[in-house]
Amino acid sequence: MSSQQIKMDSSTLFSTPLFFSFLTFLLAPMAVSGANSNHFAEYIGAQFRGVKFSDVPINSSVNFHYICSFTIDYSVATTPPTPTNGEFGVFWDTENLSPDAVSAIKQNYSNVKVAVSLGGATVNDYTVYFNATSVDSWVSNAVSSLTSIIQEYNLDGIDIDYESFSDANDTNTFTECIGQLITTLKNNGVISFASIAPYADPTVQSMYEALWAKYSSVIDYVNFQFYGYGADTTVDQYVQYYDEQVSNYPGGNVLASFTTGNTTESGVISADTGLSACKELKSENKLYGIFIWSADDSLSQGFTYEIQSQALLAS
């Protein structure tokens, strides 16, 4: 980058947009990527196993986010489901995770917020894609439909978890749709935070890194799916992968993660390895936070890993 010498009188300087942008930069809180924090997030409701918010032990010393999974811009009235260009509908266990349940858990725990995740990998066992007719129409539909859902359920934020794309080369449409959506919902006071949930796949990374390059200022957390690496991943390798993703999302609050699902069957990193890696990251002062996929799987396990993870973050 080359530097330019700019000469102007003080009255001109203090009235320019450049000055106010610089002042905003100086006053804005700086994200400290990788530094220890007490942030914990739990995905919930995607597998319809009857788990309730109140089932999950909540440590009062952590910043706790539930992430309801999912809301989808697909219609399930057809087989296979068909895209609806940003017209989102609820597709999580609303019988147990209802608006009243959201209000109750937030009332009982002042450290709890609740978000909703957009997209997901499949709907009714069919792969679903990010599929926008146009940026303007998708954003308009998404802002309207999501605002209604967020207000009905008293939610605080959104998470972006698209994993497949109708055009794997079109990073611009994804970037503008998601970036403008988050920006508009924040500007309208509908949400207070947003996260993204990429994983180590070239197409997925190209989409989310392009989004990050332009709209990182409105994205609060990177919920990276570290459990997607191979089952033979060691703790040292996990830490190396974590460092790589911190570099891929510079300045981002990158969360470590693991799954409590059947890792033997799916061939991903075990919860024990994931938790051990979190302990190592904590010892190196770079554990920003932890998220777990998911409460549905943990229900039958007594939430052992949730308890241990929160205790680690709170210590």
- Note the pLDDT tens digit of each residue in 34-76: 589 999 999 999 999 999 999 999 999 999 999 999 999 999 9
Q: Rounded to whole angstroms, how far apart are CA atoms 51 and 95?
A: 10
Report residue 73: phi and psi, to 5°: -100, 60
What pLDDT is stored for residue 33 in this prediction?
53
3-state secondary structure of 142: helix
Looking at the domain assignment, is residue 18 inside a domain?
no
Question: Does the structure show a pLDDT above 90 at 98?
Answer: yes
Q: Is residue 24 part of a domain?
A: no
3-state secondary structure of 120: strand
Region label for 4, one of left (φ > 0), alpha (ψ between -120 and 50) or beta (otherwise):
beta
Mean pLDDT of 113-127: 97
Residue 301 CA: distances (Å) to CA of 46, 158, 227, 238, 294: 17, 27, 18, 24, 11
In the predicted structure, residue 8 carries a pLDDT above the cut 70 = no
Q: Which of 42, 163, 176, 306 is catalytic?
A: 163
CATH of the domain at 50: 3.20.20.80
Stretch among 21-35, 60-74, 129-143, 249-263 having the lowest mean pLDDT = 21-35
Whether the pLDDT of residue 14 is over 80: the answer is no
- The answer to whether residue 242 sits within a structural domain is yes
Is 10 a member of any domain?
no
Q: Is 210 left (phi over 0), alpha (psi -120 to 50) or beta?
A: alpha
Mean pLDDT of 124-143: 98
Give me the domain span that covers residue 240. 39-314
Residue 34 forms part of a structural domain: no
- Count the domains in the chain: 1
Spatial contact of 288 and 36, defined as CB atoms under 8 Å apart = yes
Look at residue 5 and tell me if it is in a domain: no
C-alpha closest to that of 69 among 39, 94, 101: 94
| Residue 26 resides in a domain | no
In the prediction, which pLDDT does 25 show?
A: 37
CA distance 244 to 12: 43
Query: Is 163 a known active-site residue?
Result: yes
Average pLDDT of the residues in 208-222:
98
Residue 16 lies in a domain: no
* CA distances (Å), origin 148, targets 3, 68, 95, 141, 190: 47, 15, 18, 11, 10
